[in-house]
Amino acid sequence: EAGVAQSPRYKIIEKRQSVAFWCNPISGHATLYWYQQILGQGPKLLIQFQNNGVVDDSQLPKDRFSAERLKGVDSTLKIQPAKLEDSAVYLCASSFTAYNSPLHFGNGTRLTVT
Amino acid sequence: GQNIDQPTEMTATEGAIVQINCTYQTSGFNGLFWYQQHAGEAPTFLSYNVLDGLEEKGRFSSFLSRSKGYSYLLLKELQMKDSASYLCAGVKPNYGGSQGNLIFGKGTKLSVKP
């Protein structure tokens, strides 16, 4: 089966600019997650979708971050405006909506904010 | 709280056995996952424990004690390719009945030497 697809692979922007990341989950996976991974840290959940509805966005900095999954398949995460501390790898993951099924991660987008 | 603690770094010799420990506060996790992450790559699923005891999968085994808030990952017959970060992650339940999301530790960087 095809894995989780993410683009772009790398992005460099200046602070206060905007950026968007795209994710296409594994076919049939209703649950989609965006994680932020800062160098040397474990991934931190930003937002979780079930189909096109938000399940958990409690750690999403909503003043600058937004995410959508309009048709319940692919998803976009946006940062506007970016700050230096947003430099990280943004990982998208998906899973079956079944009790404790494992998350499958994409290769991530490495964002550098200068 | 749901803090997860792991050693930051470990070193082991090719062919040996290594145990990576993970401790967590016992409130609210529905299970525990272990992921492997090579530098610059996405985390990949290794094992999952929902009940107490040992789960064995080839060279990798994982143990869970829910009452003690303790898990470990055991790697046998170490190979050079096992050099990676190992992430312990607890499943945070979503009380709406949907798939829970993962709370990750900071990861343990394992270096395997000849």
CB atoms within 10 A of CB A12: 12
pLDDT of A69: 94
pLDDT of A98: 61
| Distance between A22 CA and the closest CA of chain B, angstroms | 16
Q: Which residues of chain A does B100 touch, with a Cβ-Cβ cutoff of 8 Å?
A: 100
Q: Which of B41, B45, B50 sits opposite A107 (nearest CB)?
A: B41
Question: Three-state SS for A84?
Answer: helix
Task: Report which of B18, B7, B25 is spatially closest to residue B90, judged by C-alpha positions.
Answer: B25
pLDDT of A48: 92
Q: Which pLDDT tens digits describe chain B residue by residue (114 residues)?
A: 468 999 999 999 999 999 999 999 866 777 899 999 999 899 999 999 989 999 998 999 999 998 899 999 999 999 999 999 999 999 877 655 556 778 899 999 999 999
Using the predicted structure, report yes or no on whether residue A1 has a pLDDT greater than 70: no
Task: Report which of B113, B110, B112 is spatially closest to residue B9, judged by C-alpha positions.
Answer: B110
pLDDT of A2: 82
